[in-house]
Amino acid sequence: MAQITLNSSGVASSGTLALQSNGTTTAVTIDASQNVGVGVTPSAWGGGKNIQLAASSSVVGSNDEVYLAANSYFNGTNNKYIANGFATQYSQETGVHKWFIAPTGTAGNNITFTRAMTLDASGNLGIGVTPSGWGSTYKAQQIGQAGVLSGHTSVPAMTLTSNAYENSGWKAITTSSAHRIDLSSDNNATIFYRAPSVSAGSALTWSESMRLDSSGNLLFNSGYGSVATAYGCRAWVNFNGTGTPAIRGSGNVSSITDGGTGTFTVNFTTSMPDQNYSAVGSAVNSSSSLVGITAAGGIQTPYFEIRVTNDAGSLQDPNFCCYAVFR
Amino acid sequence: MTQRIIYPTDEGGVAIVIPSPEALEIMTIEEIAAKDVPAGKPFKIIDTADVPTDRTFRNAWEYAE
């Protein structure tokens, strides 16, 4: 049997409307403030109109806003815990989506919500922050105070920035320096920028600091005066050529070959792509003056032959021989 | 115990291949020999202790089969 009563006692004194089912079980309660409880008597809501489901889940409407709340209600002044435990809230307000979180609390106590995430009316997402005033060139995911992952809206490019947002030019989120990495399929390059500190909201002046170009070359400015390709050392070795020759240290060298007095071959672990590399070396012998080191026409892709001579031009074993290859 | 690779040179002497520690972390000495001994040359892998330390007559050393 189902029935509609004015209240649980069937009288209108409280102004409450109750829908009963399964005998006299109250299924729906509409209180005097037009708040609805489904399977529960609505909490003492203030402000908007609410549908409270079961014990503590609610949907609330207020003007052009709608809220979805778990374990919380608004009494017109404060948000309060309905029961002991965590509380969360999601709202849609004037085109903005907001997600709120709160620590566990006690029934009836006030709730201090923290806005955990915001999707603004332009489609930019803020995690732990309200997104800055982004323009239409990028769609952004702003994280924490000033970390941003953004994608260009018209070209295939993604940008990772610290303390920068774009709106008619790049601007500082807070008063600090800024950094930016462009991953651009548009120009087939990865480019690193930095900008000196400016005040919040002011235009940033970027300087390129490093680039991985379309050929895979790494260009950077490490005191060169400009961003330029960095040509790295491709192999190096430091060995003792006296007594029982031994390698002290090396990079990309699989072995050295002792071919006789003052005659050595440096074998690369990974061969050079051609024979046009540049090799530099030095050698010294503790029992005589500095000895020279010369290439012997043995420049090959998998190895390089060297001859170590003394001042008189005679081959001599070095106790320190250092060698490096650049290309 | 460290090892060396030896093989005869075209001039009748003997070449001694000294593997680098970095290479031995990723390759066996046999693999280094296969890579760094000239193709077609016979070679042996010997203990380092068997290589003379007196190099006064280094160019007179010969490879023994």
d(CA B17, CA A257) in angstroms, rounded, equals: 4
Mean pLDDT on A264-279: 94
d(CA A184, CA A317) in angstroms, rounded, equals: 53
A 289-318 residues inside an 8 A Cβ radius of B: 302-303, 317
Q: Which residues in A lie closer than 8 A to residue B18 (C-beta atoms)?
A: 239, 245-247, 255-258
pLDDT by residue (tens digit) across A13-23? 467 888 887 77
Cβ partners under 8 Å of residue A13, min gap 6: A7
Q: Which two tokens stand for residue A218?
A: 């790494």
Q: Which residues in A lie closer than 8 A to residue B53 (C-beta atoms)?
A: 243-244
Residue type, B16: I
**Mean pLDDT for chain A overall:** 89
Q: Which residues in B lie closer than 8 A to residue A256 (C-beta atoms)?
A: 17-18, 20
A 139-158 residues inside an 8 A Cβ radius of B: none
Q: Which residues in A lie closer than 8 A to residue B17 (C-beta atoms)?
A: 255-258, 267
pLDDT by residue (tens digit) across A216-269? 888 988 888 888 888 889 999 999 999 999 999 999 999 999 999 999 999 999
- Chain A nearest-CA distance from B57, in A, is 8
Q: What single DSSP character describes residue A287? A: T
A246, A259, A261: residue with CB nearest B15: A259
Q: Euclidean distance between the first and final Cα of chain A, in Å?
A: 91
pLDDT for B64 equals 87
Share of chain A above pLDDT 90, in %: 59
pLDDT for A12 equals 45
Q: Which residue does chain B place closest to A255, by CA atoms?
A: B19
Predicted structure pTM score: 0.67
A 191-250 residues inside an 8 A Cβ radius of B: 237, 239, 242-247, 250
Task: Give φ, ψ of B32 to 5 degrees.
Answer: -65, -40
Q: Which two tokens stand for residue A173?
A: 């989120």
